[in-house]
Amino acid sequence: MTGRGKMKLQKPNKWNKTTKNKIWNGSILAAFIAAVAVFAVMLQTEKRTLAEYEKKEVYVAAKGIPRGEELTQENIEDYIMLLEIDQRIVPETAVTDRDSLYGRITVCDIGQGSVITGEMTESKEQILGEMAEPVIAGFRAEDLYQAVGGVLRAGDRIHIYCIDKDKEEFSGENPGWQNLFVQQVFDQSGNIISCEDTTTPAQRVNIYLDNKNVEDFYRNLAKGSLRVVKICD
C-alpha cells in the first residue's frame, strides 16, 4: 500500500479488564455489606418491636362474675381462665396466681373478658370481720318490717335494727346487727339479680351472719320487727 502507513491494531487492554473486574467485585462486596447492615438494623428493629408486644399470662373472667360471689375450687374453672395478652395493657394489680383467688369474694360485677385484679375481690376475713362462725342467712323482703336506703344488691352493706312495732319507734341508733355483707339477692322467680339492674326489687336476700346470732335473727324476723338500712358509700 502506498501513502498512509499501515494502521496498527491495538491489543485489548488487560489492565482495564482487570480493573473492571475489581470494580465489579468491589460493588458486589459493598452491596453485600450494605445488605448485611440493613438486615442487622431490621433485626434490631424487629427485636424492639417484639419486646414492645411481649405477651404476659393473666387471669380473665371467662364469663360475667356477679358481685358477692365466692370463688371456690368448684366454680373457679367456670369463672376464670388463663390468657396471654399484650403486656403493655396488663394492669399493675393483675392476678397471675389462680390459687390466690380461692375463697375470695368479688366486691364488684366483673364483666366477661375483664382482667382479674386484686381490688376486684376481698378475703373472707375482710368481708366477714370478726365473725367466729359465718353462715349465709336468707330472708324475704316481705318478712321485714321495713327496708330503707335504696335497692339492695350483692356486695352491699346493711344494718339490721329490731323495731318495737307497738311503739313504731326508730331512732337509728344501736343496730342489732351492723355492717353485714349482702351475699346475693334474688327476684320473685328466684333468679339472681345483677348489680347492673337498678330497678328490680329484691324479693329474697342472703347475708353473711355469725352463727351465734342466727336464732335471734330469725326469731325477730318471725315477729316482723326487723328494719334493714342500706349503708350508702
In this predicted model, what pLDDT tens digit does every residue of 97-133 receive, in sequence order? Answer: 999 999 998 988 899 999 999 999 998 888 888 788 8
Which among 101, 126, 151 is the end of a domain? Answer: 126
Per-residue confidence (pLDDT) for residue 148, from 0 to 100: 65
- What are the grid coordinates assigned to 24, written together? 465489579
Residue 39 falls inside a structural domain? no
Residue 5 falls inside a structural domain? no
Residue 85 falls inside a structural domain? yes
**Buried b / exposed e across 73-98, counting CB within 10 Å, b at 16+?**
eeebeebbeeeeeeeeebeeebbeee
Determine the straight-line distance between the first and last CA of the chain, rounded to whole angstroms: 123
Which among 126, 152, 178 is the end of a domain? Answer: 126
- pLDDT tier, 20 (very low <50, low <70, confident <90, very high otherwise): low
- If one counts every other C-beta atom within 10 angstroms of the C-beta of residue 68, the result is 25
Read off the pLDDT of residues 172-189 as tens digits, 9 standing for 90 and up: 555 788 889 998 899 889
For residues 153 and 183, state if they share a domain.
yes
- Based on the structure, what is the number of domains in the chain? 2
For residues 118 and 205, state if they share a domain.
no
The answer to whether residue 59 scores a pLDDT higher than 90 is yes
What's the CA gap between 95 and 119, in Å, rounded?
A: 10
For residues 135 and 227, state if they share a domain.
yes
Per-residue confidence (pLDDT) for residue 76, from 0 to 100: 92
Which residues span the domain enclosing 206? 131-231
For residues 161 and 112, state if they share a domain.
no
For residues 102 and 188, state if they share a domain.
no
DSSP state of 94: B
